[in-house]
Structure 1
Amino acid sequence: MYKHADPKLWNGRIDDATDEKSFRFHQMVHFKSVDDLPQDKNSFILIGFASDEGVRRNKGRTGASKAPNEIKQMLAKLPYNIGEKETIDAGNIICEGKKLEEAQAELGKSITSIFRSGNTPIILGGGHETLYGHYLGVRDFWEQISHWA
């Protein structure tokens, strides 16, 4: 269900090859797996959730599964004005068939890992079913840090 980031999604024009103030997202984004994130850098970690299953179950229009990669392709072209903060594409969680609950659990594990590494998750998806996976990750992380206190 987890697929590593595809660097081919990140391309666009280059206004300057050396002046970082002129860089675009595709020049600044890095690629790492959820298990290999930098520690305590408070980087932005993009994680996609590619699923049509929640939309299908609610009798909606499918297509949400394409959202993570489409969003990444659109972000790639934008100016990168985030400053010193690193942005990492950590890939996508892909809902295979009707296994929505399993995909949400996998997203939850990824969110927990991102928080444990001291970074900020940004979930890219198209359907409301991303919320439950996010919740599972936050809940698991909170339970872990509550036991440390």
Structure 2
Amino acid sequence: MTHLKRYTKEDLQKFTNPRVMELKFGEAVSLLKAGEELKDIPQKYVLVGIPEDVGVRANYGRAGAAGAWNACLHSLCNMQQSERTKAHDLLILGEIDCRLEMEAAAKMQGTSSEILESLGKLVTRIDVKVSEVIETIVSAGKTPIIIGGGHNNSYGNLKGTSRALGKPINCLNFDVHSDFRPLEHRHSGNGFSYAKEEEYLGNYFIFGLQAAFASQNQLDNLNDNKETVQYSFFKNTNLFGNSQRQKELDRAEDFITKDSFGLEIDLDAIAMMGSSAMSPSGASVDECREFVRYFSVFKNCKYIHLCEAAPNFELFPNQVGKTLGYFVLDVING
């Protein structure tokens, strides 16, 4: 994994604040030792970060998702280790090195077609790094929990997992957007369409699609692929007194979970969450946590990706990092 910065105990100490008579998550969680192989560790779950927002910029979006990884670690490492949080069941591997791509993107200003194309080329470079790392983790029989970064990284997740398993994999995407846009330059809005085109993606289900963000062209494209692409609208999936929600959950489960699948969670789908496309309308954090807890325990779930969180857009300090930390605990605690 040449594109990975492996974390050491010293790296985690920067995020952890020890306290007398307490054991913090960052003090108890496992790390990969020198010479140790992933296939030999007892932990099932491997946490890895992708500190970039190049794909978001390439999709006319606001930068900021690059900060989600550090925000997650600041909160997660200071949560309590106990018999209920199970830090020993997680290995923190490190972060995918996107520094060169981020530095190059920072020098590009504007949204001209030339700049967007150049940003897309940087995203393609990140794709290579992400797919290599994810393929290595899945090939070792482990389940990566991936903290993005933009949703462009869905492509690398799907490619890496597909190559590790030797077949296309299904995907369940909790999102207000389809991210099934045309095959133009690579960006955060076409990760799934590229994965579909290159046969890394099998069945694809979008849970909570907002009609306001789905153009007629996008809906036509989704409907043209209805044998392998399905979706449910947000109005049918929110919890509050909605009898349709369970039907949509059952439909997603039946369409996706019978074979290997990835679980994608776009924090844009949570109302008022600091994210690249923050919205006043959406699911609650608790609704999303319920969704993650339910689907991540399926034996066919091969990875969990939490993306598009942007701490610099949050209304209250530390809420993005704390939310991501909750999601990680929800996954490892089943």
For the criterion TM > 0.5, the same-fold answer is yes
Shift of 1:109: 1.5
Shift of 1:111: 1.3
Judge conservation of contact 1:11–1:77 (CA < 8 Å) in 2: yes
Shift of 1:105: 1.8
Which range is displaced more, 40-49 or 105-114?
40-49
Q: State the structure with bigger RCO (CA 8 A, min sep 6), 1 or 2.
A: 1
Judge conservation of contact 2:32–2:38 (CA < 8 Å) in 1: yes
Structure 1 counterpart of 2:5: 3
Indicate the SS of the match to 1:7: helix
CA distance in 1, matches of 2:15, 2:127: 25
Alpha-carbon spacing, 1:40–1:11, altered in 2? closer, same or farther (3 Å) = closer
Judge conservation of contact 1:46–1:90 (CA < 8 Å) in 2: yes
Shift of 1:59: 1.4
Superposed CA offset, 1:41-95 (max 9, x none): 2432111111111111111110111211221111111123343753222111133
Shift of 1:112: 1.5
Superposed CA offset, 1:16-63 (max 9, x none): 3xxxxx633112122227x83252624321111111111111111101
TM-score normalised over the length of structure 1: 0.78
Kindly, what percent of the aligned residue pairs are identical? 26
Task: Indicate whether 1:90 and 2:113 are aligned.
Answer: no
Judge conservation of contact 1:9–1:72 (CA < 8 Å) in 2: no
Judge conservation of contact 1:108–1:134 (CA < 8 Å) in 2: yes
Task: Indicate whether 1:133 and 2:136 are aligned.
Answer: no
Which has the greater radius of gyration? Answer: 2
Judge conservation of contact 1:40–1:117 (CA < 8 Å) in 2: no
Task: Indicate whether 1:120 and 2:143 are aligned.
Answer: yes
Structure 2 matches for 1:17-56, cutoff 5 A? Answer: 23-32=23-32, 36-39=37-40, 41-56=42-57
Let me know the Cα RMSD of the aligned residues: 2.4
CA distance in 2, matches of 1:84, 1:64: 25
1:63 partner letter: G
Alpha-carbon spacing, 1:28–1:38, altered in 2? closer, same or farther (3 Å) = farther
User: 5+ unaligned residues in a row in structure 1: which ranges?
Assistant: 17-21, 145-149
Indicate the SS of the match to 1:106: helix
User: 5+ unaligned residues in a row in structure 2: which ranges?
Assistant: 102-118, 168-334
Alpha-carbon spacing, 1:8–1:130, altered in 2? closer, same or farther (3 Å) = farther
Shift of 1:8: 3.4
Indicate the SS of the match to 2:46: strand
From 131, 147, 152, the counterpart of 1:108: 131
Structure 2 counterpart of 1:13: 18
